[in-house]
C-alpha cells in the first residue's frame, strides 16, 4: 500500500519506530505522492488559476466599461491558452549582471509554495492529498516559502526597483503572518485539532455550525482579520506594494519575462485561490453545503450572492458604484449590452438552476457535491478579492505597517482571548 | 546635467526614476537620493521632450505657427491656440467677432474639462487605483467626439485662427453638448463616490506635501496648483479676456478639505470643482451664443509693427502665455512660451523632502505635470 503513510495513522506512528526498515517503502510513498501531486496540480489547480485569470480579465473589463478578451473560443475562454503559449515561446531573457542561478530558481519558490499548500486542503471528506495532523502549521510554513522566492527574485535581478519591491514584500509578508497565524489559531482552539480535515468535519450541519459564527463577534472579526492579512500575504491590491506598477515599475518581477514571469503570475493566482480555500475550510463550513435541500433555497442563495456584492459596496471607504451609473449588481445581472451578452446570462441562469436541482437531488453528501460546493464557495471569495483589486487604491508602506501592527495584531489577540473566554462561559 | 553623486554616503542610494517610468507622465526624469524608501532629495531633470517649438516660431509665418502651438501642451491644446492667437491679435491690433470669442471660450472650457479628466484620472492610477482612470478617459472620449465635430481633430486641434476660429459649430451641436453635460453630472457623482471619499485615497494624499501660499507665489506656481494653496488668482477673473466677464462662475480655492491647506488632496479637490464650474460655463456659453460671423479679418501675410507683446490665458495648468518680439518681418524675431508645468516642476525639489517613494509619485500626479509643456 504505497499511500499507507498518508492514510493510516497507526502505520504512520509505527513508521518512525521502524524507520530503517521502511526506507524502501518510504521512497515508493514519496514517488507516489509526487505523481499524485503532479496529476492533481496539472489537472485541477492550474486550470483553476487559469480560469481566475480569465474571470479577472472579464470582470475588470466590466467594471471599467470595456469588453475584455472575447475573441478566442466561446466568450474568449481560450485566451488563457494563447497567453500560455505566448509566454512559453518568448525569449528567456536575463539582464546583464544578474545572478543566473538565483534568477532562474526564484519563480519556482513562488509557484511551489503556492501549489504544495493544496496538499492539505480538504476538497471533500475523501479528497485530500495529505491528511496531516499539523495542517495549519504546514500552511503557515509554506506561506513563508513564497517570500524566499520574492526576495531571491529581487536580489538577483540587479535592479534597484526589484530590490525595493522585494524588501517591501519581505517586510509585508513577515508582518502580516502574525495576525494571520493568530486568526488561524482560533479554529484550532475551538476544534482542538490542527488537522484541516477535522476542522472541516467539525462544521457539518448548517450555517450555524460554521466556525465564523462560533464565538459571536470574535470569530467574525477573526475571519475578517484572516481575510485582510491573507490578501496582504498574496500581495493583492490594496496591498500590492511589492509589485506597485506606478511606483516600482513592476517591483520584484521587473526584469522577468516569458515563462519565468508567467510562473510568478500563476503563483499569484494560485495563491489567491489558496487563501480563499483556507478561509472556506477554516471559517466558512469547508466542503459542507450547510443549506437545506430545497431548490427554492438554493435559488435564493444564488440571488443573494449577487445581492451581497451589492450590499457590500456600502461599506465605508469602498466605492459605491462601479460603472456608469450601474452598481456591481446591475453589471452582473442587468442590461449592460456590451458587457454581458444574452447567451452568457442565459448560461449563468441555466447553470445555477442546474446546480440547485442537482444539489437538491443528492441528499447525502457525495464527494463530487462536496468538491463542487467547496470550489464555488472559494470562488466567491476569489471574486471579492478581484472586486477589491479593481476598486481600491494602494496603501503606502508605513500605512501598511500601521494597519498590521497597530490594528490587526491587537485585534487578533483580542479575538483569541475573546474566543477563549466565550468557550469557557458557554 | 549635474549629478550630486559625490554627496552620497553609505546609507544612501541614487535612484533614477525615468526617463522611462510608468508614472512620470511623459518623458521626465527624477534623480532621487534615497535612504531605503525615504527620499532625501529629488532633482528633476528636464529636456527629454524638447522640440524647439520656440525656435520654429522664428522660422515660420505667424499663421503657420498655429499648429505648433497645439504641441506645446497637447493635453490642453485649445488654450495654447487661444493664447497665441490673442498675442498676435494684440500685436497687429485686430478686432475679433463676438461669436468667435464665444466659440473660443466654448472650446477652451471643453478642453479644460478633458485635460482635468486626464489629470484626475492619472492621479488615482499613480496612487494604485486603475478603474477611476478608465472611467475618466471614457468621459474624455465624449469630449473628444464633441471637439472632433467642432474642428475635425481629437488631440491637436488647430482650431483657432488669428482673428477668429476656423469653423462655426455644426448643426445639432448644442443638443449633443447638453446631453453630454447631463451624463457628466452623473459621472462626477460616481467619481466622488468611487474615489474622493475613499479612505485609502484620503489617507494617501491628505496632508501630503503641502505648499503654502507664500511658497507657491515665490516659485511662480499658477493655475489650480496655486489656487489649491489658498490664493485667489485666475486670469479669467483678474484680467478677463475673450468674454469671460459675461459669464457667471466661481474660482474654487483650496480650503484644506481633508487636511491642511495646499496639500495634495486640495489640488485634487480644486480640479474636481473646476470641472463643475467648467460644465456650468459651457451651459452658459451655449445659451448666450451670439449670432454673427466667427471668422476673423486677418491679412494673409501678417507683417506686424516692431515691438513686444505678451498675452496669456488661463490654461488647464495655469497661466499659459506667449511673448512675441517682432522686428517687422513676416516671422517673429523671438517667441517665448511661459507654461505652468515648468513652474510646478521647479517646486518639486523644494517640497519633496523626507517623503516616501510612493509619495513622490502621488506628488507628481497632484501637480498635474505634462512633460511636453515643461520642455516645449
Cβ partners under 8 Å of residue B348, min gap 6:
B30, B42, B44, B363, B364, B367
Interface test with A, best of B12, B34, B37, B180 (most A CBs within 10 A): B37
A336 CB within 8 Å of a chain B CB: no
Percent of chain B with pLDDT over 70: 98
pLDDT band at B18 (very low <50, low <70, confident <90, very high): confident
Q: What chain A residue is nearest to B130 in terms of C-alpha separation?
A: A390
pLDDT value of residue B327: 87
Interface A-B, measured as beta-carbon pairs within 8 A, has a size of 104
At which residue does the C-alpha cell 472632433 appear?
A: B148
> Which residues in chain A touch residue B13, judged by CB atoms under 8 angstroms apart?
160
Please tell me the least confidently modeled range out of A352-356, A418-422, B3-7, B237-241: B3-7
A399 CB within 8 Å of a chain B CB: yes
A395 CB within 8 Å of a chain B CB: yes
Interface test with B, best of A315, A394, A396 (most B CBs within 10 A): A396
pLDDT digits (tens, 9 = 90+) for A6-39: 667 777 666 666 665 656 666 776 777 677 767 7
pLDDT value of residue B343: 86
Q: Is the pLDDT of residue B347 over 70?
A: yes
Q: Looking at chain B, how many residues does it have?
A: 376
Q: Which of A63, A241, A395 sits opposite B131 (nearest CB)?
A: A63
Alpha-carbon dihedral sign for residues B120, B122, B125, B130: positive
CB-based contact A396 B359, cutoff 8 Å: yes
Q: Which of A164, A391, A395 sits opposite B37 (nearest CB)?
A: A164
Percent of chain A with pLDDT over 70: 72
A316 CB within 8 Å of a chain B CB: yes
Alpha-carbon dihedral sign for residues A234, A236, A240, A243: positive
Distance separating alpha carbons of residues B149 and A149, to the nearest angstrom: 54
Q: Tell me which H or E stretch contains B272.
A: helix B264-287
Please tell me the least confidently modeled range out of A212-216, B300-304, B332-336: A212-216
Q: Which of B13, B127, B193 sits opposite A321 (nearest CB)?
A: B193
Ramachandran region of residue B2, left (φ > 0), alpha (ψ -120 to 50) or beta? Answer: beta
A318 CB within 8 Å of a chain B CB: yes
pLDDT band at A239 (very low <50, low <70, confident <90, very high): confident
Cell of A292: 437545506
Interface test with B, best of A65, A247, A338, A401 (most B CBs within 10 A): A247
pLDDT value of residue B117: 92
Is B50:B376 a contact under the CB 8 Å cutoff?
yes
Identify the burial level of B119 via C-beta atoms within 10 angstroms of its C-beta, where 0-12 means exposed, 13-18 middle and 19 or more buried: buried
Q: Is the pLDDT of residue B126 over 60?
A: yes
Q: DSSP labels for A64-102?
A: TT---S-SSSGGGTTHHHHHHHHHHHS-----TT--HHH
Stretch B71-91: mean pLDDT: 89
Q: What chain B residue is nearest to A322 in terms of C-alpha separation?
A: B194
pLDDT band at B270 (very low <50, low <70, confident <90, very high): very high
Cβ partners under 8 Å of residue A311, min gap 6:
none
**CB contact residues (below 8 A), chain A span 249-288, against chain B:** 249
Q: Which of B125, B193, B359 sits opposite A319 (nearest CB)?
A: B193
Return the top range by mean pLDDT from A216-225, A320-329, A373-382, B289-298: A216-225
DSSP β-bridge partners for residue B35: B38
The CA angle A231-A234-A236, to the nearest 5 degrees, is 60
Q: Which of B15, B129, B356 sits opposite A393 (nearest CB)?
A: B129
How close does chain A come to B278, measured CA to CA in Å? Answer: 21
Distance separating alpha carbons of residues B268 and B228, to the nearest angstrom: 8
> Which residues in chain B touch residue A320, judged by CB atoms under 8 angstroms apart?
193-194
> CA torsion, points A319, A323, A325, A331, in degrees to nearest 10?
-110
Distance separating alpha carbons of residues B359 and B38, to the nearest angstrom: 10
Stretch B334-355: mean pLDDT: 87
Please tell me the least confidently modeled range out of A26-35, B1-10, B174-183: B1-10
CB-based contact A249 B124, cutoff 8 Å: no
C-alpha distance from residue A285 to each of A48, A206, A281, A383 (Å): 21, 8, 6, 18
Edge to edge, the sheet with strand B355-356 lists B13-17, B29-35, B38-45, B355-356
Q: Is the ipTM of this complex over 0.90?
A: no
Is A266:A258 a contact under the CB 8 Å cutoff?
no
pLDDT value of residue B164: 85
Assigned fold of B53-375: Cytochrome-c3 Hydrogenase; chain B (1.10.645)
Q: Which of A395, A55, A382, A52 is nearest to A230 (CA)?
A: A382
Q: What chain B residue is nearest to A62 in terms of C-alpha separation?
A: B131
Q: Is B46 helix (H, G, I), strand (E, B) or coil?
A: coil
pLDDT digits (tens, 9 = 90+) for A304-352: 555 444 434 433 333 334 433 444 444 444 444 344 445 555 566 666 6
Q: Is A410 helix (H, G, I), strand (E, B) or coil?
A: helix
At which residue does the C-alpha cell 520654429 appear?
A: B56
Stretch A55-73: mean pLDDT: 79
Is B187:B135 a contact under the CB 8 Å cutoff?
yes
Cell of A298: 438554493
Distance separating alpha carbons of residues A147 and A149, to the nearest angstrom: 5
pLDDT digits (tens, 9 = 90+) for A386-420: 888 888 888 888 888 888 899 889 989 988 998 88
Q: Is the pLDDT of residue B93 over 80?
A: yes
pLDDT value of residue A357: 61
Task: Answer with the residue of higher pLDDT: A40 or A144.
Answer: A144
pLDDT value of residue B355: 87
Task: Answer with the residue of higher pLDDT: B6 or B42.
Answer: B42
> Which residues in chain A touch residue B22, judged by CB atoms under 8 angstroms apart?
245-246, 249
CB-based contact B204 A395, cutoff 8 Å: yes
Please tell me the least confidently modeled range out of A91-105, A329-343, B33-47: A329-343
pLDDT value of residue A366: 66
What letter does residue B304 receive in the DSSP assignment?
P
pLDDT band at B113 (very low <50, low <70, confident <90, very high): very high
How close does chain A come to B157, measured CA to CA in Å? Answer: 27
How close does chain B come to A369, measured CA to CA in Å? Answer: 37
pLDDT value of residue B114: 92
CB-based contact A321 B186, cutoff 8 Å: no
DSSP β-bridge partners for residue B34: B13, B39
pLDDT digits (tens, 9 = 90+) for A181-237: 999 888 888 888 888 888 888 887 767 778 887 777 888 888 889 999 999 888 887
Distance separating alpha carbons of residues B214 and B350, to the nearest angstrom: 13
Task: Answer with the residue of higher pLDDT: A150 or B20.
Answer: A150
pLDDT value of residue A1: 46
Cβ partners under 8 Å of residue B130, min gap 6:
A60, A64, A390, B124
Q: DSSP labels for B134-175?
A: HHHHHHHHHHHHHHHHHHS-SSS---EETTEES-PPPTTHHH
pLDDT value of residue B116: 92
Mean pLDDT for chain B overall: 86
CB-based contact B135 A65, cutoff 8 Å: yes
pLDDT value of residue A334: 44
Is A122:A280 a contact under the CB 8 Å cutoff?
no
CB-based contact B134 A66, cutoff 8 Å: yes
CB-based contact A393 B128, cutoff 8 Å: yes
Cell of A134: 499539523
Cβ partners under 8 Å of residue B152, min gap 6:
B167
Distance separating alpha carbons of residues A237 and A388, to the nearest angstrom: 7
pLDDT digits (tens, 9 = 90+) for B214-233: 888 888 888 898 999 988 88
Q: Which of A71, A315, A313 is nearest to A323 (CA)?
A: A313
At which residue does the C-alpha cell 462536496 appear?
A: A370
pLDDT digits (tens, 9 = 90+) for A277-313: 999 888 888 777 655 555 555 555 555 555 444 434 4
What letter does residue B296 receive in the DSSP assignment?
-
Distance separating alpha carbons of residues B376 and B360, to the nearest angstrom: 23
The whole-model pTM stands at: 0.81
Cβ partners under 8 Å of residue B334, min gap 6:
B54, B58, B323, B324, B325
At which residue does the C-alpha cell 480569465 appear?
A: A54
Cell of B280: 456650468
pLDDT value of residue A389: 85
Amino acid at each position: 500500500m504505497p499511500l499507507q503513510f498518508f492514510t493510516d495513522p497507526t502505520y504512520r506512528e509505527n513508521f518512525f519506530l521502524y524507520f530503517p526498515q521502511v526506507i524502501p517503502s518510504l521512497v515508493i510513498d514519496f514517488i507516489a505522492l509526487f505523481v499524485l501531486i503532479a496529476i492533481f496540480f496539472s489537472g485541477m489547480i492550474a486550470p483553476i488559476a487559469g480560469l481566475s485569470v480569465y474571470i479577472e480579465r472579464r470582470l475588470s473589463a466590466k467594471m471599467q466599461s470595456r469588453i475584455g478578451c472575447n475573441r478566442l473560443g466561446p466568450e474568449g475562454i481560450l485566451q488563457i491558452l494563447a497567453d500560455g503559449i505566448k509566454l512559453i515561446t518568448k525569449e528567456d531573457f536575463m539582464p546583464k549582471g544578474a545572478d543566473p542561478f538565483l534568477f532562474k530558481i526564484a519563480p519556482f519558490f513562488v509557484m511551489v509554495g503556492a501549489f504544495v499548500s493544496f496538499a492539505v486542503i480538504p476538497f471533500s471528506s475523501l479528497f485530500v492529498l495529505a491528511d496531516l495532523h499539523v495542517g495549519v502549521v504546514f500552511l503557515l510554513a509554506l506561506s513563508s516559502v513564497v517570500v524566499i522566492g520574492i526576495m531571491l527574485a529581487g536580489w538577483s535581478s540587479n535592479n534597484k526597483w526589484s530590490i525595493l519591491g522585494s524588501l517591501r514584500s519581505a517586510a509585508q509578508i513577515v508582518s502580516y503572518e502574525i495576525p494571520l497565524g493568530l486568526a488561524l489559531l482560533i479554529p484550532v482552539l475551538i476544534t482542538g485539532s490542527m488537522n484541516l480535515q477535522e476542522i472541516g468535519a467539525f462544521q457539518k450541519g448548517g450555517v450555524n455550525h460554521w466556525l465564523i459564527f462560533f464565538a459571536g463577534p470574535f470569530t467574525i472579526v477573526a475571519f475578517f482579520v484572516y481575510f485582510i492579512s491573507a490578501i496582504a500575504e498574496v500581495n493583492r491590491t490594496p496591498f500590492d506594494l511589492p509589485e506597485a506598477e506606478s511606483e516600482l515599475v513592476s517591483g520584484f518581477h521587473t526584469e522577468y519575462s516569458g515563462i519565468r514571469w508567467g510562473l510568478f503570475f500563476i503563483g499569484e493566482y494560485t495563491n489567491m485561490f489558496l487563501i480563499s480555500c483556507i478561509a472556506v475550510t477554516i471559517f466558512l463550513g469547508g466542503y459542507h453545503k450547510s443549506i437545506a435541500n430545497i431548490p427554492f433555497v438554493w435559488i435564493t442563495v444564488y440571488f443573494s450572492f449577487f445581492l451581497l456584492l451589492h450590499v457590500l459596496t456600502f461599506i465605508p471607504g469602498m466605492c459605491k458604484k462601479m460603472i456608469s451609473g450601474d452598481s456591481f449588481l446591475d453589471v452582473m445581472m442587468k442590461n449592460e449590452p456590451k458587457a454581458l451578452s444574452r447567451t452568457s446570462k442565459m448560461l449563468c441562469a441555466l447553470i445555477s438552476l442546474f446546480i440547485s436541482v442537482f444539489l437538491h437531488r443528492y441528499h447525502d453528501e457525495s464527494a463530487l457535491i462536496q468538491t463542487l460546493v467547496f470550489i464555488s464557495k472559494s470562488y466567491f471569495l476569489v471574486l471579492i478579492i478581484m472586486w477589491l483589486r479593481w476598486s481600491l487604491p494602494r496603501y503606502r508602506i508605513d500605512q501598511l505597517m500601521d494597519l498590521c501592527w497597530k490594528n490587526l495584531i491587537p485585534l487578533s489577540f483580542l479575538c483569541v482571548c475573546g474566543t477563549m473566554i466565550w468557550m469557557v462561559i458557554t | 546635467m549635474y549629478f550630486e553623486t559625490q554627496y552620497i554616503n553609505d546609507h544612501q542610494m541614487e535612484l533614477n526614476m525615468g526617463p522611462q517610468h510608468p508614472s512620470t507622465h511623459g518623458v521626465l526624469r527624477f534623480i532621487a537620493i534615497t535612504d531605503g524608501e525615504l527620499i532625501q532629495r529629488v532633482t528633476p531633470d528636464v529636456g527629454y521632450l524638447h522640440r524647439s517649438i520656440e525656435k520654429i516660431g522664428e522660422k515660420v509665418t505667424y499663421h503657420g505657427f498655429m499648429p505648433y502651438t497645439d504641441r506645446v501642451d497637447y493635453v490642453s491644446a485649445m488654450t495654447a491656440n487661444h493664447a497665441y492667437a490673442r498675442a498676435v491679435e494684440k500685436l497687429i491690433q485686430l478686432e475679433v467677432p463676438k461669436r468667435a470669442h464665444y466659440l473660443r471660450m466654448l472650446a477652451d472650457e471643453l478642453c479644460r474639462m478633458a485635460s482635468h479628466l486626464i489629470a484626475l484620472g492619472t492621479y488615482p492610477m499613480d496612487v494604485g487605483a486603475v478603474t477611476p482612470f478608465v472611467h475618466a478617459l471614457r468621459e474624455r472620449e465624449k469630449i473628444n467626439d464633441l471637439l472632433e465635430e467642432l474642428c475635425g481633430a481629437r488631440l491637436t486641434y488647430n482650431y483657432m485662427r488669428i482673428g477668429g476660429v476656423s469653423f462655426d459649430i455644426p448643426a445639432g451641436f448644442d443638443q449633443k453638448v447638453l446631453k453630454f453635460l447631463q451624463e457628466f453630472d452623473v459621472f462626477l457623482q460616481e467619481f466622488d463616490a468611487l474615489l474622493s471619499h475613499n479612505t485609502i485615497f484620503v489617507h494617501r494624499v491628505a496632508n501630503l506635501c503641502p505648499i503654502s501660499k507664500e511658497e507657491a507665489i515665490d516659485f511662480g506656481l499658477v493655475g489650480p496648483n496655486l489656487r489649491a494653496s489658498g490664493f485667489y488668482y485666475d486670469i479669467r477673473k483678474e484680467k478677463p479676456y475673450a468674454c469671460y466677464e459675461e459669464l457667471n462662475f466661481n474660482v474654487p480655492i483650496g480650503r484644506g478639505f481633508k487636511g491642511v491647506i495646499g496639500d495634495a488632496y486640495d489640488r485634487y479637490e480644486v480640479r474636481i470643482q473646476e470641472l463643475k464650474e467648467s460644465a456650468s460655463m459651457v451651459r452658459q456659453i451655449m445659451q448666450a451664443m451670439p449670432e454673427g460671423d466667427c471668422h476673423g479679418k486677418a491679412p494673409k501675410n501678417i507683417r506686424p509693427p516692431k515691438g513686444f507683446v505678451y498675452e496669456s490665458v488661463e490654461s488647464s495648468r495655469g497661466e499659459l502665455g506667449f511673448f512675441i518680439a517682432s522686428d517687422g518681418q513676416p516671422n517673429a524675431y523671438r517667441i517665448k512660451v511661459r507654461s505652468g508645468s515648468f513652474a510646478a516642476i521647479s517646486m518639486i525639489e523644494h517640497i519633496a523632502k523626507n517623503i516616501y517613494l510612493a509619495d513622490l509619485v502621488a506628488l507628481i500626479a497632484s501637480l498635474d505635470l505634462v512633460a511636453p509643456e515643461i520642455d516645449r
